[in-house]
Amino acid sequence: MNCCSAPCSDPDREQEPQLMCDGRCVGKESFVELNELLDEEFACMRSVAQGICQSLARPKDRECCRTMLQDLSKLNQSQSPEVKENVHKFLVFYLKALRWTQKNQPLEWYQKWYGCSQDMGEEQRVWVEEGRSYAAMKEFEDGSTIVYVATAKYPCSIWTESGLKSLAQQDDRL
Protein backbone atom coordinates (compact mmCIF):
# COMPACT_ATOMS: atom_id res chain seq x y z
CA MET A 1 0.00 0.00 0.00
CA ASN A 2 1.21 3.40 -0.93
CA CYS A 3 1.09 5.83 1.99
CA CYS A 4 1.58 8.97 -0.09
CA SER A 5 -0.12 9.64 -3.27
CA ALA A 6 2.39 10.73 -5.86
CA PRO A 7 1.14 13.15 -8.45
CA CYS A 8 0.46 11.67 -11.81
CA SER A 9 3.01 12.57 -14.40
CA ASP A 10 1.87 15.08 -16.97
CA PRO A 11 3.28 14.39 -20.46
CA ASP A 12 3.04 18.10 -21.35
CA ARG A 13 5.32 19.01 -18.44
CA GLU A 14 7.91 16.43 -19.41
CA GLN A 15 8.53 18.08 -22.77
CA GLU A 16 11.47 20.39 -23.21
CA PRO A 17 10.57 23.85 -21.93
CA GLN A 18 9.80 26.40 -24.60
CA LEU A 19 11.52 29.75 -24.53
CA MET A 20 9.28 32.75 -24.10
CA CYS A 21 9.77 35.86 -26.13
CA ASP A 22 7.40 38.84 -26.04
CA GLY A 23 4.63 36.67 -24.57
CA ARG A 24 4.81 33.93 -27.20
CA CYS A 25 6.57 30.57 -27.18
CA VAL A 26 9.46 30.08 -29.54
CA GLY A 27 11.71 27.12 -30.17
CA LYS A 28 15.50 27.12 -29.94
CA GLU A 29 15.93 27.79 -33.67
CA SER A 30 13.57 30.75 -33.56
CA PHE A 31 15.35 31.96 -30.44
CA VAL A 32 18.70 32.01 -32.27
CA GLU A 33 17.17 33.65 -35.35
CA LEU A 34 15.52 36.31 -33.21
CA ASN A 35 18.80 37.05 -31.43
CA GLU A 36 20.62 37.35 -34.76
CA LEU A 37 17.93 39.67 -36.14
CA LEU A 38 18.00 41.87 -33.04
CA ASP A 39 21.81 42.00 -33.16
CA GLU A 40 21.74 43.06 -36.81
CA GLU A 41 19.13 45.75 -36.15
CA PHE A 42 21.10 46.96 -33.14
CA ALA A 43 24.27 47.30 -35.23
CA CYS A 44 22.44 49.34 -37.88
CA MET A 45 20.71 51.63 -35.40
CA ARG A 46 23.93 52.05 -33.41
CA SER A 47 25.81 53.22 -36.51
CA VAL A 48 23.04 55.76 -37.22
CA ALA A 49 23.22 56.96 -33.62
CA GLN A 50 27.00 57.31 -33.84
CA GLY A 51 26.62 59.45 -36.97
CA ILE A 52 24.13 61.72 -35.23
CA CYS A 53 26.35 61.80 -32.14
CA GLN A 54 29.30 63.09 -34.17
CA SER A 55 27.21 65.94 -35.57
CA LEU A 56 26.24 67.30 -32.14
CA ALA A 57 27.86 70.67 -31.42
CA ARG A 58 27.99 70.50 -27.62
CA PRO A 59 30.92 68.40 -26.30
CA LYS A 60 28.91 67.17 -23.29
CA ASP A 61 26.13 65.92 -25.62
CA ARG A 62 28.68 63.95 -27.66
CA GLU A 63 30.18 62.47 -24.49
CA CYS A 64 26.75 61.46 -23.10
CA CYS A 65 25.81 59.92 -26.43
CA ARG A 66 29.01 57.85 -26.62
CA THR A 67 28.56 56.67 -23.02
CA MET A 68 24.93 55.70 -23.65
CA LEU A 69 25.85 53.74 -26.80
CA GLN A 70 28.61 51.90 -24.91
CA ASP A 71 26.16 50.97 -22.13
CA LEU A 72 23.59 49.78 -24.66
CA SER A 73 26.25 47.68 -26.40
CA LYS A 74 27.06 45.98 -23.10
CA LEU A 75 23.38 45.27 -22.46
CA ASN A 76 22.88 43.96 -26.00
CA GLN A 77 25.58 41.31 -25.43
CA SER A 78 23.08 39.38 -23.34
CA GLN A 79 21.76 36.14 -24.83
CA SER A 80 18.25 36.86 -23.59
CA PRO A 81 15.91 37.93 -26.39
CA GLU A 82 13.81 39.81 -23.84
CA VAL A 83 16.79 41.99 -22.90
CA LYS A 84 17.64 42.50 -26.58
CA GLU A 85 14.05 43.51 -27.36
CA ASN A 86 14.08 46.04 -24.53
CA VAL A 87 17.41 47.43 -25.77
CA HIS A 88 15.87 47.65 -29.26
CA LYS A 89 12.81 49.54 -28.00
CA PHE A 90 14.97 51.94 -26.01
CA LEU A 91 17.34 52.52 -28.93
CA VAL A 92 14.39 53.42 -31.20
CA PHE A 93 13.32 55.99 -28.60
CA TYR A 94 16.90 57.21 -28.12
CA LEU A 95 17.33 57.73 -31.88
CA LYS A 96 14.22 59.93 -31.89
CA ALA A 97 15.60 61.97 -28.98
CA LEU A 98 19.01 62.28 -30.64
CA ARG A 99 17.47 63.42 -33.92
CA TRP A 100 15.40 66.05 -32.10
CA THR A 101 18.53 67.24 -30.27
CA GLN A 102 20.45 67.42 -33.53
CA LYS A 103 17.74 69.50 -35.23
CA ASN A 104 17.18 71.87 -32.30
CA GLN A 105 20.72 72.71 -31.21
CA PRO A 106 21.15 76.37 -30.20
CA LEU A 107 24.28 76.80 -32.34
CA GLU A 108 24.62 80.51 -31.57
CA TRP A 109 24.86 79.79 -27.85
CA TYR A 110 27.27 76.89 -28.33
CA GLN A 111 29.51 79.06 -30.47
CA LYS A 112 29.50 81.71 -27.74
CA TRP A 113 30.07 79.24 -24.90
CA TYR A 114 32.54 76.84 -26.47
CA GLY A 115 34.07 79.04 -29.16
CA CYS A 116 33.56 76.39 -31.81
CA SER A 117 32.37 77.51 -35.20
CA GLN A 118 29.78 75.36 -36.92
CA ASP A 119 30.07 77.25 -40.22
CA MET A 120 30.67 74.51 -42.73
CA GLY A 121 32.64 75.52 -45.75
CA GLU A 122 34.80 77.95 -43.79
CA GLU A 123 38.38 77.42 -44.82
CA GLN A 124 41.26 77.43 -42.36
CA ARG A 125 44.81 77.96 -43.58
CA VAL A 126 48.21 78.50 -42.03
CA TRP A 127 51.83 78.91 -43.10
CA VAL A 128 53.81 76.26 -41.25
CA GLU A 129 57.14 77.65 -42.46
CA GLU A 130 56.93 80.98 -44.31
CA GLY A 131 57.35 80.51 -48.06
CA ARG A 132 57.98 76.76 -47.77
CA SER A 133 55.13 74.88 -46.09
CA TYR A 134 51.42 75.64 -46.31
CA ALA A 135 48.43 73.78 -44.86
CA ALA A 136 44.72 74.36 -45.49
CA MET A 137 41.56 72.57 -44.38
CA LYS A 138 37.95 72.86 -45.48
CA GLU A 139 34.98 71.03 -43.95
CA PHE A 140 31.77 70.41 -45.90
CA GLU A 141 28.14 70.03 -44.78
CA ASP A 142 28.19 66.24 -45.18
CA GLY A 143 31.03 66.01 -42.64
CA SER A 144 33.79 65.33 -45.16
CA THR A 145 37.02 67.27 -44.83
CA ILE A 146 39.68 68.16 -47.37
CA VAL A 147 43.19 68.78 -46.12
CA TYR A 148 45.72 70.38 -48.46
CA VAL A 149 49.41 70.50 -47.59
CA ALA A 150 52.13 71.89 -49.86
CA THR A 151 55.85 72.16 -49.38
CA ALA A 152 58.68 73.50 -51.54
CA LYS A 153 62.31 72.57 -51.41
CA TYR A 154 63.37 75.91 -52.90
CA PRO A 155 61.35 78.94 -51.73
CA CYS A 156 62.72 80.96 -54.66
CA SER A 157 60.41 79.03 -57.01
CA ILE A 158 57.66 81.48 -55.97
CA TRP A 159 55.01 78.75 -55.93
CA THR A 160 53.00 80.81 -53.49
CA GLU A 161 52.22 83.41 -56.15
CA SER A 162 51.59 81.13 -59.07
CA GLY A 163 51.94 77.46 -58.35
CA LEU A 164 50.87 76.38 -61.82
CA LYS A 165 53.60 78.46 -63.50
CA SER A 166 56.32 76.91 -61.40
CA LEU A 167 54.96 73.43 -62.07
CA ALA A 168 54.81 74.09 -65.81
CA GLN A 169 58.46 75.15 -65.95
CA GLN A 170 60.89 72.31 -66.44
CA ASP A 171 63.62 73.12 -63.93
CA ASP A 172 66.40 70.82 -62.89
CA ARG A 173 66.01 72.09 -59.35
CA LEU A 174 63.19 69.70 -58.54
pLDDT of residue 21: 46
Domain range summary for the chain, segments of one domain joined by +? 18-111, 123-168
Q: How far apart are CA 99 and CA 22, in angstroms?
A: 28
The answer to whether 71 and 132 have CB atoms below 8 angstroms apart is no
**In 3D, which of 116, 120, 136 has the Cα closest to residue 128?**
136
pTM as predicted? 0.49
pLDDT of residue 14: 42
- Tell me the pLDDT of the chain (174 aa) as tens digits: 455 554 554 544 444 434 444 445 455 667 788 888 888 889 888 988 888 888 887 788 889 999 999 999 999 999 888 999 999 999 999 999 998 888 887 777 766 666 655 444 566 666 666 666 767 777 777 667 777 777 766 656 555 555 545 555 555 454
pLDDT of residue 126: 67
Long-range (24+ apart) CB contacts under 8 A made by 121-129 are: none
